[in-house]
């Protein structure tokens, strides 16, 4: 689930602003108007982080922080103290009471979010949220052949990373001519797209923020152009700059690309931290995977950076996982189980299963995959690109 934040403040305006800001970032928000209520919510709701005002009715912020620290056993909830006092003595008092950080009112929301992310990464439980990368990770999803479910996995992995693991995610439809994200996410042709980025006077974070589309699931979308003939306006020169800016705005940049290894896709591959090749266990797909592995190897990409994702892993094809690995002469890194009917029904309804049926067997399988993505990013296990050999 998304990280749960407890706001303890008796000012309704502060409550309203913080609730709006945090929900926009994908957090779940609890609100308490006095210290006693805040302490009670901490004990019953187990928030991931507390924003704690100093001047509160019943129990002040210092007392609340001290009581929490006295009652804690194995886990440590990070506390950011919010205060209007600028005197160093007040800050020291808050830290001694058990606060991990403090902010002086009024503060900028960007500073608040940066401090929150730092504390959430530092104190995250090992089995749950893990440390966020310093800059956003770029993950490219590529289908070894048509119909293997690449777009389904990319969309639902993005939603799982956001809704279940609390990450800030943008999903990029890299199939520039015939992208399906508008259809599969029930969006119209009137929405802005990557075309609005590349035709702007300059490409920067502000332009990208004005173009991305917020989906109901909480992820942001950078859509493909609305018509095939305009796709050629997006060139290989645009891609590195777009991805560089997206890295500064998101924890994860998930890109769903088409099967052509043209100059645009090669630029995406150069910029990506990890390259997921989605496959199924059939002969034609195995043949294509071998060709892809050979091709990216010739381009100077370390083979370990390429991750194989076996979709519909429990479907009967006559070729089991062991045989597939033997044919490819390398292990399959991830498996997503087969529930074709549920997956296609979700796509056709415009409601991804990780948004509407996350507790289904397919949803749980996809969540395991998302956790593996997140663990790899946090531990730095994914190898880096070698210099392109072209």
Q: What is the predicted pLDDT for the residue at 83?
A: 85
Alpha carbon distance 160, 116 (integer Å) = 21
Residue 132, domain member (yes or no)? no
Q: How confident is the model at residue 131 (pLDDT cuts 50, 70, 90)?
A: very low
Q: Which uninterrupted H or E stretch holds 187?
A: none
pLDDT in tens, 359-369: 788 888 999 99
pLDDT at 233: 93
CATH number for the domain harbouring residue 74:
3.40.50.2300
pTM: 0.64
**Buried (b) or exposed (e) across 201-220, using 16+ Cβ within 10 A?**
eebeeebbeebbbebebbbb
Q: What is the mean pLDDT of residues 239-249?
A: 91
DSSP state for residue 267 in the 8-state scheme: H
CB-based burial of residue 251 (10 Å sphere; 0-12 exposed, 13-18 middle, 19+ buried)? Answer: buried
pLDDT tens digits, residue range 32-83?
999 999 999 999 999 999 999 999 999 999 999 999 988 887 678 999 999 8
Average pLDDT, rounded, for the chain: 86
Mean pLDDT of 163-185: 91
Residues 189 and 283 in one domain: yes
pLDDT at position 135, please?
A: 64
CA distances 113 to 1, 20, 49, 92, 244, Å, are 18, 13, 12, 22, 20
> Domain check: are 210 and 234 in the same one?
yes
Residue 153: what pLDDT?
A: 94
Instruction: Select from 91, 123, 155 the last residue of a domain.
Output: 123
Domain annotation covers residue 271: yes
Are 281 and 364 in a shared domain? yes
CB 360 within 8 A of CB 194: no
Number of domains forming the structure of the chain: 2
Distance in angstroms (rounded) separating the CA atoms of residues 175 and 388? 22
Domain-embedded: residue 131:
no
């Amino acid at each position: 689930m998304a990280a749960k934040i407890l706001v303890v403040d008796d000012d309704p305006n502060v409550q309203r602003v913080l609730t709006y800001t945090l929900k926009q970032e994908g957090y779940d928000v609890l609100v308490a108007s006095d210290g006693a209520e805040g302490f009670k919510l901490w004990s019953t709701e187990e928030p991931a982080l507390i924003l704690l005002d100093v001047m509160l009715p019943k129990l002040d912020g210092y007392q609340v922080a001290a009581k929490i620290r006295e009652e804690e056993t194995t886990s440590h909830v990070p506390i950011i103290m919010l205060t209007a006092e600028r005197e160093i003595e007040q800050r020291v008092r808050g830290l001694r009471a058990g606060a991990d950080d403090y902010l002086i009112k009024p503060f900028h929301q960007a500073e608040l979010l940066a401090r929150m992310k730092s504390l959430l990464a530092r104190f995250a439980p090992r089995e749950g949220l893990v440390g966020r990368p310093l800059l956003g990770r770029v993950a490219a999803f590529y289908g070894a052949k048509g119909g293997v479910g690449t777009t389904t996995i990319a969309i639902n992995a993005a939603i799982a990373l956001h809704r279940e693991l609390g990450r800030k995610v943008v999903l990029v439809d890299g199939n520039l001519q015939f992208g399906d994200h508008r259809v599969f996410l029930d969006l119209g042709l009137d929405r802005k797209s990557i075309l609005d980025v590349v035709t702007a006077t300059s490409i920067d974070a502000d332009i990208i923020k004005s173009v991305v589309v917020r989906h109901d699931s909480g992820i942001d979308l950078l859509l493909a152009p609305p018509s095939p003939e305009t796709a050629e306006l997006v060139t290989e020169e645009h891609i590195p700059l777009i991805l560089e800016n997206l890295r500064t705005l998101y924890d994860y940049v998930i890109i769903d690309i088409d099967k052509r290894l043209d100059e645009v896709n090669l630029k995406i591959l150069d910029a990506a931290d990890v390259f997921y090749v989605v496959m199924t266990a059939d002969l034609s797909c195995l043949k294509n995977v071998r060709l892809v592995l050979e091709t990216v190897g010739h381009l100077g990409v370390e083979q370990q950076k390429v991750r194989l994702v076996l979709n519909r892993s429990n479907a009967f094809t006559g070729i089991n996982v062991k045989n597939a690995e033997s044919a490819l002469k390398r292990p399959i890194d991830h498996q997503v189980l087969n529930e074709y009917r549920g997956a296609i029904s979700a796509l056709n309804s415009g409601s991804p299963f990780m948004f509407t049926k996350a507790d289904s067997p397919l949803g749980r399988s996809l969540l395991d995959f998302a956790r593996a993505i997140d663990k790899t990013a946090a531990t730095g296990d994914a190898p880096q690109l070698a210099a392109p050999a072209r």
